[in-house]
Structure 1
Amino acid sequence: MAGHKRHHDGKIAGLYDLDKTLGRGHFAVVKLARHVFTGEKVAVKVIDKTKLDPVARGHLFQEVRCMKMVQHPNVVRLYEVIDTATKLYLILELGDGGDMYDCIMKHEGGLTEEVAKCYFAQIVHAISYCHRLHVVHRDLKPENVVFFEKQGVVKLTDFGFSNRFQPGKKLNTSCGSLAYSAPEILLGDEYDAPAVDIWSLGVILFMLVCGQPPFQEANDSETLTMIMDCKYTVPPHISRACIDLIGHMLQRDPKKRATLEQIESHQWLQGVDPSPATKLSTPLVSHRSLSEEEHGSIIQRMVLGGIADRDAITEAQPATPSAATPPLIFPQPLLFCFHFSDVTT
C-alpha cells in the first residue's frame, strides 16, 4: 500500500490537508489539518527528523510510546503516526478552546476558586492515571493543558519530556521549563519521578487562582533562587484550604510533598467531579451520518487513494444506504497507521 503513496505540499499521504500553523518548536511545527475523507479537523505535529540530535530523537520516541500508552478522557489523543523519510507526523486530537495559559492571562488576579477546582481536578485525575501506568509527564504547565469546550473538559498534551519510571528507582534527566520545574531537577540531582509532577501541579494551581506564577522574577538567576528557597507570596483573597493544598505541593523536600491520593482527598477538592468527560452523553469520538452521495463519494476516494478495493470497503456495509439500513458512519478521524520509508518529502 505504501509503495505509490507520496507526500505533496499541503497534504500528508493523501489523508490530511494541512492548513494554518498553530504553533512552533525547535524541531516541530503544529498545524491544523482536515481529514480528506471526513473533513474532521485534527492537530498535526510535524517533526523534521533531519534536525534531531540523538537526545531529541530519544525524547521523540518516548513521546510517541507514552502517548500510545496513555488513553484517558483528560489526555489529548494520539490518533496515528505517519513516518516518512524526513518527517514524522503525529496526528492529534484538536482542542477547540485554546490553552490554559491564555485563559489565565485573560483573568487578572486568577480564576475563581470554583472554576479553578474543576480544571485542576481534571488535571490531577489525568496525572494520577499516567502515574499508575508509570508514565511521568515532566513538563506540566498551563501551556500544555488544552480546553475542549464542546466536551466541557481540559486535557493534557505535549508528552515530549515524558518517560517511563519504575517505582522506587530515580530518574536523572534534567528537563522541563524553569518556572515550573522542581528544585531537584534544576539541581541536576537524581529524583523521584512522581514528585516532580506534584511540584508542577502546585505551580499550576497557584497560577489558576492567583493569575501569575509563584516563582517568576526579573531574570532566570533570581527565579532559580526563589525556587530553591521555595519563597512565594499568596494573595489575601485565596482561601485557607487552597493555600494549604498549594503549600503541600510546593515543598522543597520531595519526600514531604503531597501524594496524588492526598491531593485528590484534600478538603479543597471535595465535591468536585474529577472526570466529567467520562459522563458525557455523546461519545468522545464524534460521528455523523452520511448522505447517499457522501457515502458513495468517500468510498470512491478510498478506492482511488489505495486504501482498499471497493469490495473490501463495502463488504460489511450495503453499497447504497436506505431507511432500513443506516448509512456508513466514519469516526473522527479515520484511523490508519502508515510507515512510508520510500516517501518523497
Structure 2
Amino acid sequence: MTSLSERTPDTFTNNYRVLKLIGQGGYGKVWLSARLSDNKLFAAKMVPDSRCRRKSWCMDREVYLPDEVILWEGLDHPNIIKLEEVFSEQGSWIFVMEYLAGFTDLFTLSELHGTLSESEATGVLRQITDVCWYLMEEEVDHRDIKDENILYNSVTQQIKLIDFGSASFLEIDQRYHSLQGTEVYNPPELYNGGSYDPISGIVWSIGCLAFVLVNGDIPFNNKTEVMEFKQLTWFNDGMSPIYKDFVERCMQRVEILRIDFFKLRLHPLLRGKGFRSGS
C-alpha cells in the first residue's frame, strides 16, 4: 500500500535513512536507503515535481498524482520493479521501490562487460515480451523499453523493468501523436506520418532492444536515421538467422508489414523451436 506525506504525518525523512547515490539521469536521482523500522534496504527515486508534467486526479487520495505512480503502483509481476511507497515533500516526489542487489541495468552491463550472448539475449527478450503482454492486459504501455530501463542479474538471468516515467494509459484503437520515451526507440511512422499504433510501437522497441543486446549499440543514432531508415551497420557477422529474422520482423519500416505482437510471442526464437529462413 502506498502512502502520501500530504495524507499522513509520516515523511520519507522520518522513515528512511539515505545511504548513498546509486543512479541518476534526466528524471532525478536514485538513493540507496534504509528503512528505520527494520533497516531493510530500498531504492528511493527522487524526482522534482516540475519534471512530473503528466498528472491525473486520484479520487481516493483527493490529490493530483504523477501518471507514473497511478500506472505503476497497481502492477504485480515478477519482472517489474515493485513500488513500495510514495512521498511528496520539499517540492519533490520520492518513489520508494525494492532494492535488488546483484542487478545492473543492461546498458551499464554492456559498457562494463560487453554484449550478451544470443542465448542470454533471448532470455531477456522472452521476459520483456511477457512483461509487455502483462502490461497490455493491465491497459498500461511503458513507452520506454530499452536497455537502460532493464535491470539484469547475470547469475539468475532474471530481468526487472524499471522507470514508468514515460508510461501511458493504453486504450483500444488509439494512436499516439507525440514523442514519449527515447527518440531512437520510437518507430519511423511517428516522424514520417505523425502518429503510430501503440502495440506496433512496442514491437518496434523490442526489435531495437534485441539489436542492442547482441551488438552493443543502437541501430539508429538519431531521429533522422530512423526517418530515413538507414541500415548501414545493422547486423554483426555472427548473428544467427533466427535472431536476425526476429529483429527484421520487429523493425519493418512499413507499419502494416511489421509483425503483430501476438504473432511475435510465437516466433521460434522465443519458443526455442527450430527455424527455417522465411518460415
**Structure showing the higher strand proportion among its residues:** 2
- Superimposed CA distance per residue, residues 167-205 of structure 1 (whole angstroms, 9 cap, x where no aligned partner): 112122312212222223344712211221211111110
Q: Which residue of 2 aligns with 1:145?
A: 150
- Superimposed CA distance per residue, residues 192-223 of structure 1 (whole angstroms, 9 cap, x where no aligned partner): 1122121111111001122221112xxxxxx3
Once the two structures are superposed, the pairs formed by residues 156-175 of structure 1 within 5 Å of their partners are 156-175=161-180
Q: Which residue of 1 aligns with 2:105?
A: 99
Instruction: Report the CA distance shift for 1:187/1:31 in structure 2 as closer, same or farther (over 3 A).
Output: farther
Instruction: Judge conservation of contact 1:5–1:13 (CA < 8 Å) in 2.
Output: no
Instruction: Report the CA distance shift for 1:256/1:60 in structure 2 as closer, same or farther (over 3 A).
Output: farther
CA distance in 2: counterparts of 1:88 and 1:215, whole angstroms: 33
Q: Which residue of 2 aligns with 1:322?
A: none
- Superimposed CA distance per residue, residues 102-124 of structure 1 (whole angstroms, 9 cap, x where no aligned partner): 1222354x321111111111111
Instruction: Judge conservation of contact 1:32–1:41 (CA < 8 Å) in 2.
Output: yes
Q: Which residue of 1 aligns with 2:128?
A: 123
- Superimposed CA distance per residue, residues 113-170 of structure 1 (whole angstroms, 9 cap, x where no aligned partner): 1111111111111111111222111111100001246765101111111001211121
- Displacement of 1:234 after TM fit? 0.8
Q: Which residue of 2 aligns with 1:230?
A: 229
> Aligned with 1:118: secondary structure?
helix
> Aligned with 2:34: secondary structure?
strand
Instruction: Report the CA distance shift for 1:185/1:161 in structure 2 as closer, same or farther (over 3 A).
Output: farther
Opposite residue 129 of structure 2, the aligned amino acid is V
Query: With CA pairs under 8 Å and 6+ residues apart, which has the higher RCO, 1 or 2?
Result: 1
Q: Which residue of 2 aligns with 1:135?
A: 140
Q: Which residue of 1 aligns with 2:240?
A: 239
CA distance in 2: counterparts of 1:168 and 1:4, whole angstroms: 40
CA distance in 2: counterparts of 1:239 and 1:129, whole angstroms: 29
Aligned length: 259
The percent identity for this pair of structures is 25
Instruction: Judge conservation of contact 2:120–2:157 (CA < 8 Å) in 1.
Output: no
Instruction: Report the CA distance shift for 1:60/1:153 in structure 2 as closer, same or farther (over 3 A).
Output: farther
Opposite residue 137 of structure 2, the aligned amino acid is R
Once the two structures are superposed, the pairs formed by residues 212-223 of structure 1 within 5 Å of their partners are 212-216=217-221, 223=222
CA distance in 2: counterparts of 1:132 and 1:265, whole angstroms: 18
- Superimposed CA distance per residue, residues 77-111 of structure 1 (whole angstroms, 9 cap, x where no aligned partner): 11111223522211112232210111222354x32
Structure 1, unpaired ranges of 5+: 217-222, 273-345
Opposite residue 258 of structure 2, the aligned amino acid is R
Instruction: Report the CA distance shift for 1:4/1:159 in structure 2 as closer, same or farther (over 3 A).
Output: closer
Q: Which residue of 2 aligns with 1:154?
A: 159
Instruction: Report the CA distance shift for 1:60/1:234 in structure 2 as closer, same or farther (over 3 A).
Output: farther
Instruction: Judge conservation of contact 1:16–1:34 (CA < 8 Å) in 2.
Output: yes
Instruction: Report the CA distance shift for 1:74/1:102 in structure 2 as closer, same or farther (over 3 A).
Output: same
Instruction: Judge conservation of contact 1:95–1:148 (CA < 8 Å) in 2.
Output: no
Q: Which one has the largest radius of gyration?
A: 1
Instruction: Judge conservation of contact 2:85–2:95 (CA < 8 Å) in 1.
Output: yes
Question: RMSD across aligned C-alpha pairs, in angstroms?
Answer: 2.6
Instruction: Judge conservation of contact 2:85–2:96 (CA < 8 Å) in 1.
Output: yes
Instruction: Report the CA distance shift for 1:210/1:56 in structure 2 as closer, same or farther (over 3 A).
Output: same
Q: Which residue of 2 aligns with 1:31?
A: 31
Please give the TM-score of this superposition, normalised by the length of structure 2: 0.83
Instruction: Report the CA distance shift for 1:179/1:2 in structure 2 as closer, same or farther (over 3 A).
Output: closer
CA distance in 2: counterparts of 1:188 and 1:139, whole angstroms: 20
Please give the TM-score of this superposition, normalised by the length of structure 1: 0.68
> Aligned with 1:90: secondary structure?
strand
1:75 to 57, 74, 80: 80
